[in-house]
Amino acid sequence: MSPDQDLIKHEPARMIQVEEDRIGQRIDNFLMLELKGVPKSRVYQMIRKGEVRVNKGRKKPDYKLQSRDLIRVPPIRRITDNETFDYRFITILEHIFFENDEFLAINKPPGLAVHGGTGLQAGLIEALRSHRTEASYLELAHRLDRDTSGLIIIAKKRSFLRRFQAALRSRRHLEKNYDVVVHGQWPKEVKSVVFPIQKVELRSGERLSRVSDSGKPSQTRFTIKGHNREATWLSARLVTGRMHQIRLHAAEMGHPVVGDTKYGDESKDSALATPRMMLHATSMRLTSDPHAKMDSQLPEITLNAPVEAIMANFIEQHFGPV
């Protein structure tokens, strides 16, 4: 047997009964947690080919688990700890700025993906779990683009995750605000952008958003905070939460985000000598619903993540103090 084979752990098929705190979780996300060390692509292949069964039947990746569902997990080859990537080199703990029994808030630095994926071993959630080995539950409550800095919420309880994601979908009791710098002079009269957005996947596997009449309704509210001849500093509030929404809406208005390599203007970026994409998730406000049951309430709280230092310096150089 070769040394490489010693690093692979073979596990037989097994049956897992869904526990109470996993009710409502998608089957693909459930399997990601259960099958750590198994590539994401392999997990989706298992689901697609019917190797994973729920109550003896096939399910799609977005199937939401029900009480006492019985899941069959097929035989797998799992990478052992000897070969597992060491995430502890990512100093994520110093970026936690709020924590209670239900969740924690991190001011994510730019360039760090929120989770590992295709071509990426290092992710925020994996790093956090490697530092907080005593935590029984740590899950991303939402997403943030790799090159966007700022506030991201990590659920410490499944019950909080369900309430938070319900608020994300309804947008009635959760407000998210960003600081963003765009090219050119943003029109003073434009305070809301409502282009519909559709997600597309390229043959390479890269995911993009585009404006399309067949897309989902999307709205971003913009407020000018400062401007000069080359650029405008804006506050952006998400009314809806589509993928790359602020970046795409700004680009469609003819004012792409400074430093945006996906929807931006490389020639203008060079002229401004931008060191990163100028988009930061600055604040989030959670409010309770007076008509909802107590066990479905979110805490009343406003969280503020100071603008990351490189972006803050850029803003100060071009517009004045942040």
Catalytic residues: 145
Q: 């693909």: which residue's tokens? A: 28
142-to-111, 145, 151, 168, 243 alpha-carbon distances in Å: 17, 10, 10, 8, 11
Query: Is the CB of residue 92 less than 8 Å from the CB of residue 109?
Result: no
Rounded to whole angstroms, the Cα distance separating 130 from 296 reads: 30
Mode of pairing for the β-strands spanning 207-211 and 197-201? antiparallel
Rounded to whole angstroms, the Cα distance separating 302 from 151 reads: 11
Rounded to whole angstroms, the Cα distance separating 218 from 199 reads: 12
Q: Is 48 left (phi over 0), alpha (psi -120 to 50) or beta?
A: alpha
Cα angle for residues 144, 265, 198 (degrees, 5° grid) = 50
Separation of CA 108 from chain center? 11
Rounded to whole angstroms, the Cα distance separating 27 from 29 reads: 6
Rounded to whole angstroms, the Cα distance separating 178 from 237 reads: 6
Query: Is the CB of residue 265 less than 8 Å from the CB of residue 253?
Result: no
Element (H, E) at 213: none
Radius of gyration of the chain (CA): 21
Q: Within 13 Å and on the Cβ side, how many CA atoms surround 199? A: 8
Q: Where are the alpha helices (DSSP H) in 97-195?
A: 124-131, 158-170
Closest CA to 125 of 90, 98, 159, 166: 90
Tokens of 220: 């971003």
